[in-house]
Amino acid sequence: MVEIPWKKLPTKLPDVSWQSALRWAGYPTFFVLCFVVFAYWTFPYERLRDRLIEEADERGYELEIIDLSPSRLSGVTLEGVRLVLPGKGDEPPVDILFEELTVRVSLLSALSDTKSFSFDAELAGGDAQGDVAFGEDNFEVEAEFSDIELKQIPALRRFTMIPVTGKLDGEIALTMPGDIGESNGSVALTIEALSIGDGKTKVDIPDWGGLTLDEADAGDLEIQATIEEGTIDIESFKADGKDLKLDVLGNVRLGRPMMRSQLNLMLKAKIEDSYKERSPKIATMIEIASAGDAYKAALAPDGSLQYKITGSPAGRMRPQGAGNQPFRAPALTAK
């Protein structure tokens, strides 16, 4: 048995100052920090750009990126981004353009199932910025828009089906959990100097075929809505232009996919005489339509056309003439 010489062991630890301890601890920390910074700034971003383009091509998209560079510690900045989405059926492909797009990932979100990131984009002559988080079946977004020129967004035509111009500003907040019926949020948007039609592009109008619509001044469009328990309550959707006046009230019950959402709206539109005088084509259409029962059912005492719109964009929306009804939001339908 080996006898341990206890009397020869030190009875106390060496006297080391906090300054010395911090200095020695700082050496490996500094090394790790230098390694991270070096790896970050020497990362092969050109290869990442090429990989993104390859991934898009495999999914049937066309992607162009002029330059990709680091942004702070957890982000990248893409310049000259062009994404081309294939058209559906006979529709032409749609271009989405970004002058510059910066995306930063939340490092803490890497430890959870819900990933979150922030974005800052320069597009269509304006800016868009916000935060996005998404998981396996949940989605959350907060976004701000400033000076976005609608005519510079070709993809918008897929939703409007008619040429529109104007400058978009405002905010959107949406929280969409797994159960879409529990979605909440708000919308506050303004489109300055909204105009509809361009006198060149053909628009498919039921019972009329493909026609061109002369540009109509709709003024400023103000949109205010709240989203509670999966239902969008439209508090204001109003434009008061020289040629066209619009007003919409009602609600939209969200569905998955979004095109299956259920509309329950009251729409009121008035075409001013000044527009009819400037556009003989529109004046002739209105004169012919005014002899029909559908037009008479929609004609309100003030000369505007009023419709109740129900149904789903994915199915068949059913506009019904409601000229003899008071203009107010339809009652919320039961779930």
Tell me the two tokens of residue 156: 């918008």
Sites in the chain below the pLDDT cut of 50: 1-2, 4, 6, 9, 13, 16-40
**pLDDT computed for residue 25 by the predictor:** 45
Question: Does residue 191 lie within any of the structural domains?
Answer: no
Question: Does residue 71 lie within any of the structural domains?
Answer: yes
CA distance to 4, 10, 72, 300, per residue, from 7 (Å): 9, 8, 57, 107
Which residues span the domain enclosing 76?
34-105
Question: Does residue 52 lie within any of the structural domains?
Answer: yes
CATH number at residue 75: 2.30.30
DSSP string, 34-85: HHHHHHHHTS-HHHHHHHHHHHHHHTT-EEEEEEEEEETTTEEEEEEEEEEE
How many CA atoms, within 13 angstroms, populate the side-chain half-sphere of residue 100?
12
**pLDDT computed for residue 110 by the predictor:** 63
3-state class (DSSP) for residue 335: coil
DSSP string, 258-271: GGGPEEEEEEEEEE
Domain count of the chain?
Answer: 1
Question: Does residue 60 lie within any of the structural domains?
Answer: yes
Tokens 């790896």, residue located = 39
Question: Does residue 245 lie within any of the structural domains?
Answer: no
**pLDDT computed for residue 126 by the predictor:** 93
Question: Does residue 255 lie within any of the structural domains?
Answer: no
pTM, to two decimals: 0.76
Question: Does residue 50 lie within any of the structural domains?
Answer: yes
Whole-angstrom distance, CA of residue 7 vs CA of residue 66: 74
**pLDDT computed for residue 334 by the predictor:** 57
**pLDDT computed for residue 51 by the predictor:** 79
- Is-contact 301 326, C-beta < 8 A? no
Question: Does residue 80 lie within any of the structural domains?
Answer: yes
**pLDDT computed for residue 144 by the predictor:** 95
